[in-house]
Structure 1
Amino acid sequence: MSEAIRIVIADDQALVRGALASLLSLEPDLEVVGQTGRGDEVLELVTGTGASVAMLDVEMPGLDGLAVARQLRDSGLDCRSLIVTTFGRPGYLRRALESGASGFVVKDTPSHQLADAVRRVHAGLRVVDPTLATESLISGGSPLSARETDVLLALRSEGSIGDVAKQLHLSEGTVRNHLSSAIGKTGARNGSEAVRIAADNGWLLS
């Protein structure tokens, strides 16, 4: 019998990590060798366990899953990334593939399909949720400029134009101009709605 595929799971929800580990451990050719709730611990975990597949959530403390996928790709380690997330958004899918992830599936994927996705990613194939793939092609890329994205990201965490201006070292007038442009591009009625729309489309991961 060939050696089992070694997997690490990174998800900030302990119940989700445990459920994924339990489901995958039922498969005779799969072995979960490590778990973490932080993105910035994945590289060390992969190095220490010799895992060949890293299952990554999108939003985690430390580093988000897309940054981790990029980090693993650039590390030279023989470990492929499979994004498994609640956030089934076309923008996330595009950015995940650009970051070097080999697969992108949502968490409600049936267990046998999830196990098969791990096997296919391990074999060097690309696995993408078909519905998201179609939506991604239809919706295209983010319409926001890099600075407009920065402003919305800062607005989401800071809350006021003045605070955003200080964080980004811009004048309040410049921040308002970028925000106005972002509102127009997203079709929003105000800054808060622009943040929500951009986040829902996966355009606000740093």
Structure 2
Amino acid sequence: MSERPIRLLLADDQALVRGALAALLDLEVDLTVVAQVGRGDLVVDAARANAAQVALLDVEMPGMDGIAAAAALRAAYPSCRSLVVTTFGRPGYVRHALDAGASGFVVKDTPAEQLADAVRRVHAGLRVVDPDLAVESLAVGASPLTDRERDVLLVAGRGGTVADIARETFLSEGTVRNYLSAAMGKTGGRTRAEAVRLAQENGWLLG
């Protein structure tokens, strides 16, 4: 245990979740929450301003998602390590997070003592991944989608016609249909909506 408490930053767009995490972690004598933000694009500045040593990041936040925030931290303030703590335990997210520079990935229903231990291990330079998600991530593998197929599915997930998708992605309608067909084949989805759902569940639609 270090002599000074490990300085934590919490990033989550749900204030109640942030408050609950802060209350739990502040019970640990060797941990102290020094900053809280509700947007991913505020993470780097808040970490730097408060000399945070570990940032606990949600995945889905306005401004910048937690995985992009982990990458930004690694680039701009590498002395602060990141631990993704999210409701969305999708196996594809684990690979994205670790590739982005996160030191760990756990789900929000992790028991308090295990979460505190994960923070300590990340601070010590170790990598921590929820064991069930790690197994799922290996089983699912990397995303089979190309960047363009992912972009088309992202827009398709918001609804709209092929013409709408074509306008938003600056592609022809025929090209959009080709990408949708390819994405359906790769995800195993029988419909466009099913392809979107399967890709989301596997964490393949994150940038």
TM-score of the superposition, structure 2-length normalised? 0.97
Describe how 1:34-73 pairs up with structure 2 within 5 A.
Answer: 34-73=35-74
Query: How far off is 1:158 after superposition?
Result: 5.1
Aligned residues between the structures: 206
- Cα distance in 1 for partners of 2:30, 2:50 equals 17
Q: Is 162-171 or 151-160 further displaced after alignment?
A: 151-160
Query: How far off is 1:77 after superposition?
Result: 3.5
How big is each residue's C-alpha offset from its partner over 1:98-129, in whole Å with a ceiling of 9 and x where there is no partner?
00000000000000000000000000000010
3-state SS in 2 of match to 1:157: coil
CA contact (8 A) 2:55 2:83 kept: yes
Which blocks of at least 5 consecutive residues in structure 2 are unaligned?
Answer: none
CA contact (8 A) 2:56 2:84 kept: yes
Q: Which amino acid aligns with 2:26?
A: S
Q: 1:76 and 1:47, CA in 2 relative to 1: closer, same or farther beyond 3 A?
A: closer
RMSD: 1.0
How big is each residue's C-alpha offset from its partner over 1:145-191, in whole Å with a ceiling of 9 and x where there is no partner?
11100100111235221111111111001000100110111111111
How big is each residue's C-alpha offset from its partner over 1:42-90, in whole Å with a ceiling of 9 and x where there is no partner?
1110011000000000000000000000000111431000000011111
Percent sequence identity over matched residues?
Answer: 65
- Cα distance in 1 for partners of 2:124, 2:205 equals 31
Tell me the equivalent position of 1:116: 117
Tell me the equivalent position of 1:33: 34
3-state SS in 2 of match to 1:87: coil
Tell me the equivalent position of 2:146: 145
- Cα distance in 2 for partners of 1:159, 1:113 equals 43
Q: Which amino acid aligns with 1:176?
A: R
3-state SS in 2 of match to 1:12: coil
Tell me the equivalent position of 1:100: 101
- Cα distance in 2 for partners of 1:159, 1:36 equals 33
Q: Which amino acid aligns with 1:137?
A: L
CA contact (8 A) 2:48 2:77 kept: no
Tell me the equivalent position of 2:169: 168
3-state SS in 1 of match to 2:135: helix
3-state SS in 1 of match to 2:157: helix
CA contact (8 A) 2:44 2:77 kept: no
TM-score of the superposition, structure 1-length normalised? 0.97
3-state SS in 2 of match to 1:84: strand
Which blocks of at least 5 consecutive residues in structure 1 are unaligned?
Answer: none
- Cα distance in 2 for partners of 1:181, 1:198 equals 13
Q: Which amino acid aligns with 2:147?
A: A
